[in-house]
């Protein structure tokens, strides 16, 4: 049990502190850092998917006015560590995937840098590549563990036996597509290497964590942390793709070191983001579900096949939610990977849960259909009393309440019958559950200082639009027992104490906990009448922890789908989500987070699809005209609600994290609604009109 803060500032609707700067466009993002006389870097990318660079002709590029330097595998500096092959840029002539960086131009202007990059002539010895993901590959392997340290496989009871004897079963394969995070701000780094300075390397990097970014760079270049400063006050979205540094951060650093004293700006193009900054692996999910007559699950199993790159392993934990979501005596989850000649996959909003709640939540809908049980009721009947995976009680679990509250708000009881038609549209409704683990990272430190009559809190946290600039002062204020207006929070700089990555919906939980510890330290040391300059720090690991409960946020999403009877066009006029995500620190920013996740989930359901052209080993549609993300007109009446949840086991704020759960389950709710509208069961995302044409009247 944690002593929950008395909420005064917490729970209040507070306008974003960085809001005015953002609506004016004066908030400064990495590439915009005002620096003296910047040079511009532009990468050259491999045009083969596997092979060797046999020659690099830079003469035409170097002959151009304004070119400062062209870095190639033979001229680039040798890195201190090449262990991480994603980071080992320009260190060998091997080409591991199409789009890998094989040279880098630094020039006086962005126009010349790009022109020179086009003028670099590369010759390859091309080798056959293999980039096709399939369930029947004979080289699939079980990774040692999957992302976030989860076990690769789990098993409990006998799934096969239950499948053979159960009253009803569903056995189907579901797939999710390859997705690219595509934050609106392209990945970018402004780098300055000034060997004479106390801190020789400064990186203004668009990152979800200045400290993790610094660690990555230090490791690769053999620098001490004191030699590097990473600054990032604002991030134009990341959704996981800025959680880890990617190759371009190393390239920017290399470029800066090649022109000492000269700041270098490296902004990736949108097209380059389709190969260099991670993506969500496509997943193939084989589901087996067995139930008795009343809908109680007898077995649930998910066997996942997905891809990683040949040079660096990333194993999406797609099977993980199936381990804890519903009660069932028999259960199996497995993950198998194909290591391909493809770019390195990585985190994307709710890794694991997002794809991993697609197959199961559609399979449950199929089961409900088979049994003639309402899908909301089916989920309620399979509510587990304790965490089926660990046997621990829940810190709080309000899935049933979310389902009921959502059903009430949505008008689920009066939903139209299957294949219902209103004018030109076929109308259907669908439901799915959401879940996301409540996490806190092991490292983060906050400092609180009394300065000029107010409290200043410093921590190297990041605000990706999540609201940290606004929410952290609310937490610090309650921890100190003062008004939020009396607290200034400084984030986004390695000059401030170490902070964990903004990922896993753990940022606020982690940094907030450190702030609470620091505030308590502060009050213990200095009481309520501190002197100017009084300062205390707190580490998240001093915050009380709870090992005895399983902590997750839950939710339920309800979709109304309309399918045009003539053309099959799909619209989602209503999408409601109800979440149990602990205490909501700022309803304004939290609502935006939930809605943002749901919007991305809608986008995943209907639009997003990095169509892979395995003939050449690249995404066929690698820009925002082709890789569709939902636009404003795709969103109708979208609402996010939450339960008033009081969870004393998670942390001092009682918060569970709101950044990711909104994208979990959305796609399943949409395709379940499509099925009700048209009778077409879509098991492969995205659902597009061509799949529905054959079933239209």
Partner 1 sequence: MKPFAFARPGDVAEAVRTVAAEPAAVFLGGGTNLVDLLKLGVARPDRVVDVRRLTSREITDTDDGGLRIGAAVTNSELAADPRVRERWPVLAQALLAGATGQLRNLATVGGNPLQRTRCVYFTDVSTPCNKREPGSGCSAVGGYTRYHAVLGVPAALPDASAPETCIATHPSDMAVALAVLDARVQVLGPGGARTIPFAELHRLPGDDPSRDTVLEHGELVTAIDLPPLPAGARSAYRKVRDRASYAFALVSVAAVVAGGEVRLALGGVAHRPWRATRAEEVLRGGPPTADAVRGAMAAELAAAQPQPGIDGGNGFKIPLVTRTVVATVRDLTSGVPA
Partner 2 sequence: MRRTGPAPAVGRMCAIWFATPGRGGTCGAMAPDGVHAEISLTVDGEDHRLTVDTRTTLLDALRERLGNASPKKGCDHGQCGACTVLLDGDRALSCLALAVAHDGAEVTTADGLAAGGLHPVQQAFLDRDAFQCGYCTPGQVCSAVGLLEEVRRGWPSHVTEDLTARPELTHDEVAERMSGNLCRCGAYAHIVPAVQQAGGVQA
Residue position matching structure tokens 């003296």: 36
In whole angstroms, give the CA distance from residue 283 to residue 90. Answer: 31
Extract the tokens encoding 517: 């510890």
Nearer to ligand FES among residue 125 and residue 184 (C-beta): 184
CB under 5 to 8 A by kind: which of partner 1, ligand FES, partner 2, none does 225 bind? none
Residues in contact with partner 2, shown as a per-residue x/- string from 315 to 344 under the rule CB under 8 A: ------------------------------
The CB-of-625 to partner 2 minimum distance in angstroms stands at: 4
* CB contact set of 548 (below 8 Å; sequence gap of 6+): 392, 393, 649
Return the axis-axis angle of helices 507-526 and 468-480, rounded to nearest 10°.
30
Figure out which of the listed residues 630, 655, 672, 678 binds partner 2, where binding follows CB under 8 A. Answer: 630
Figure out which of the listed residues 466, 500, 537, 618 binds partner 2, where binding follows CB under 8 A. Answer: 466
Query: Which of positions 641-680 make contact with ligand FES (CB under 6 A)?
Result: none
The CB-of-343 to partner 1 minimum distance in angstroms stands at: 15
The CB-of-240 to partner 2 minimum distance in angstroms stands at: 12
Query: Which of positions 7-66 make contact with partner 1 (CB under 8 A)?
Result: 47
In whole angstroms, give the CA distance from residue 638 to residue 575. Answer: 5
Return the axis-axis angle of helices 666-678 and 587-606, rounded to nearest 10°.
50
Query: Which of positions 185-204 make contact with ligand FES (CB under 6 A)?
Result: none
The CB-of-280 to partner 1 minimum distance in angstroms stands at: 17
Figure out which of the listed residues 588, 621, 641, 681 binds partner 2, where binding follows CB under 8 A. Answer: 588
First to last CA, the chain: 58
Q: Give the 3-state secondary structure of residue 193.
A: strand
Query: Which of positions 270-289 make contact with partner 2 (CB under 8 A)?
Result: 270
Q: Is 465 in the site for partner 2 (CB under 8 A)?
A: yes
Query: Which of positions 547-576 make contact with partner 1 (CB under 8 A)?
Result: 566-569, 571
Query: Which of positions 24-53 make contact with partner 2 (CB under 8 A)?
Result: 24-29, 31-32, 34
67: nearest Cα among 32, 121, 114:
114
Q: Is 237 in the site for ligand FES (CB under 6 A)?
A: yes
Q: Is 323 in the site for partner 1 (CB under 8 A)?
A: no
Q: Is 361 marked active-site?
A: no
* CB contact set of 316 (below 8 Å; sequence gap of 6+): 146, 147, 280, 281, 283, 304, 306, 335, 345, 351, 352, 355
Nearer to partner 2 among residue 360 and residue 467 (C-beta): 467
Q: Provide the 8-state DSSP code for 34.
A: -
Nearer to partner 2 among residue 196 and residue 625 (C-beta): 625
The CB-of-596 to partner 2 minimum distance in angstroms stands at: 4
Q: Is 688 in the site for partner 1 (CB under 8 A)?
A: yes
In whole angstroms, give the CA distance from residue 581 to residue 395. Answer: 11
Q: Give the 3-state secondary structure of residue 637.
A: strand
Query: Which of positions 168-187 make contact with ligand FES (CB under 6 A)?
Result: 184
CB under 5 to 8 A by kind: which of partner 1, partner 2, ligand FES, none does 35 bind? none
Residue position matching structure tokens 């989930």: 601
How many beta carbons lie within 10 A of that of residue 681, not counting itself?
15
What does 525-593 look like in DSSP terms, one character per residue? HHTTSPPTT-EEEEEGGGS----SSEEEEEEEEEEEEEEETTT--EEEEEEEEEEE-B--S-HHHHHHH
CB under 5 to 8 A by kind: which of ligand FES, partner 2, partner 1, none does 591 bind? partner 2
Nearer to partner 2 among residue 159 and residue 598 (C-beta): 598
In whole angstroms, give the CA distance from residue 671 to residue 684. Answer: 9
The CB-of-50 to ligand FES minimum distance in angstroms stands at: 32
Q: Is 110 in the site for partner 2 (CB under 8 A)?
A: yes
Figure out which of the listed residues 355, 465, 473, 568 binds ligand FES, where binding follows CB under 6 A. Answer: 465
Q: Catalytic residue among 361, 389, 560, 660, which?
A: 660
The CB-of-660 to partner 2 minimum distance in angstroms stands at: 13
Extract the tokens encoding 200: 């020789």
* CB contact set of 527 (below 8 Å; sequence gap of 6+): none
Nearer to partner 2 among residue 239 and residue 425 (C-beta): 239
CB under 5 to 8 A by kind: which of ligand FES, partner 2, partner 1, none does 571 bind? partner 1
Contact status, residue 31 vs residue 39, Cβ threshold 8 Å: no
Contact status, residue 303 vs residue 390, Cβ threshold 8 Å: no
Query: Which of positions 604-643 make contact with partner 1 (CB under 8 A)?
Result: 606-607, 609, 611-616, 620-623, 625-626, 628, 630-634
Per DSSP (E only), the strands in 317-401 are 330-340, 394-396
Q: Give the 3-state secondary structure of residue 515.
A: helix
In whole angstroms, give the CA distance from residue 319 to residue 333. Answer: 6
The CB-of-435 to partner 2 minimum distance in angstroms stands at: 20
The CB-of-612 to partner 1 minimum distance in angstroms stands at: 7
Interacting residue ranges for partner 1, rule: CB under 8 A: 47, 111, 114-115, 118, 566-569, 571, 606-607, 609, 611-616, 620-623, 625-626, 628, 630-634, 688-690, 693-694, 696
Catalytic site residues? 660
Binding residues vs ligand FES (CB under 6 A):
184, 237, 465
């Amino acid at each position: 049990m944690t002593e929950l803060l008395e909420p005064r500032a917490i729970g209040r609707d507070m306008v974003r502190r960085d809001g005015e700067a953002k609506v004016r466009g004066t908030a400064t993002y990495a590439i915009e850092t005002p620096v003296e006389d910047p040079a511009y870097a532009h990468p050259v990318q491999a045009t083969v998917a596997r092979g060797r660079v046999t020659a690099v002709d830079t003469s035409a590029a170097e002959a151009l006015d304004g070119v400062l330097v062209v870095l190639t595998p033979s001229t680039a500096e040798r890195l201190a560590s090449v262990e991480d092959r994603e980071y080992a840029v320009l260190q060998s002539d091997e080409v591991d995937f199409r789009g890998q960086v094989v040279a880098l131009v630094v020039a006086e202007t962005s126009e010349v840098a790009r022109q020179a990059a086009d003028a670099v002539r590369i010759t390859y010895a091309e080798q056959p590549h293999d980039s096709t993901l399939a369930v029947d590959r004979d080289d699939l392997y079980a990774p040692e563990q999957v992302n976030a340290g989860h076990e690769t496989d789990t098993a409990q009871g006998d799934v096969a036996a239950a499948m053979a004897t159960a009253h009803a079963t569903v056995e189907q394969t579901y797939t999710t597509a390859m997705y690219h995070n595509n934050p609106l701000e392209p990945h970018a780094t402004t780098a300055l290497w000034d060997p004479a300075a106390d801190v020789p390397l400064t990186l203004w990097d668009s990152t979800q964590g200045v400290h993790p970014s610094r660690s990555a760079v230090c490791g690769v270049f053999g620098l001490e942390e004191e030699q590097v400063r990473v600054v990032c006050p604002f991030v134009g979205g990341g959704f996981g793709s800025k959680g880890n540094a990617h190759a371009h951060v190393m390239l920017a650093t290399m470029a800066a070191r090649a022109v000492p004293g000269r700041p270098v700006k490296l902004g990736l193009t949108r097209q380059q983001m389709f190969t260099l900054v991670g993506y969500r692996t496509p997943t193939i999910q084989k589901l087996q579900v067995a139930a008795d007559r009343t809908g109680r699950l007898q077995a649930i199993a998910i066997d996942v096949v997905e891809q990683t790159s040949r040079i660096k392993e990333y194993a999406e934990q797609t099977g993980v939610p199936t381990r804890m979501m519903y009660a069932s005596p028999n259960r199996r989850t497995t993950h198998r990977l194909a290591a391909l000649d493809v770019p390195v996959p990585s985190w994307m909003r709710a890794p694991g849960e997002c794809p991993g709640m697609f197959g199961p939540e559609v399979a449950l809908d199929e089961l409900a259909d088979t049994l003639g049980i309402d899908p909301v009721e089916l989920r309620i009947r399979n509510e587990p009393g304790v965490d089926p995976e660990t046997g621990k009680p829940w810190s709080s679990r309000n899935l049933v309440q979310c389902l009921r509250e959502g059903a009430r708000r949505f008008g689920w009881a009066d939903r139209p019958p299957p294949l219902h038609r209103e004018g030109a549209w076929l109308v259907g409704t669908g439901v799915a559950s959401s879940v996301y683990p409540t996490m806190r990272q092991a490292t983060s430190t906050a400092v609180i200082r009394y300065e000029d009559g107010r409290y200043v809190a410093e921590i190297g946290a990041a605000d990706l639009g999540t609201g940290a600039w606004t929410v952290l002062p609310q937490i610090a204020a309650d921890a100190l027992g003062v008004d939020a207006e009396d607290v200034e929070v400084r984030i986004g700089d390695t000059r401030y104490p170490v902070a964990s990555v903004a990922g896993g919906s753990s940022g606020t939980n982690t940094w907030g906990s450190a702030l609470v510890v620091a505030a308590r330290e502060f009050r213990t040391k200095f009481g309520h009448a501190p002197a100017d300059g009084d300062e205390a720090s707190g580490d998240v690991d001093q915050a009380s922890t709870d090992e005895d409960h399983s902590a997750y946020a839950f939710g339920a999403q309800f979709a109304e789908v309309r399918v045009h009877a003539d053309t099959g066009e799909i619209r989602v006029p209503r999408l409601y989500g109800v979440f149990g995500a602990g205490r909501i620190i700022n309803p304004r920013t939290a609502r935006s987070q939930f809605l943002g996740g749901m919007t991305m989930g809608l986008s995943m359901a209907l639009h997003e699809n990095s169509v892979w052209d395995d003939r050449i080993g690249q995404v066929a549609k690698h820009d925002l005209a082709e890789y569709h993300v939902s636009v404003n007109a795709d969103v109708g009446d979208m609402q996010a609600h939450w339960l008033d949840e009081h969870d004393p086991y998670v942390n001092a704020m009682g918060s569970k994290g709101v950044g990711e759960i909104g994208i979990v389950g959305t796609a399943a709710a949409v395709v379940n609604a499509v099925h009700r509208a048209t009778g077409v069961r879509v098991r492969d995302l995205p659902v597009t009109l061509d799949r529905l044409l054959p079933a239209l009247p």
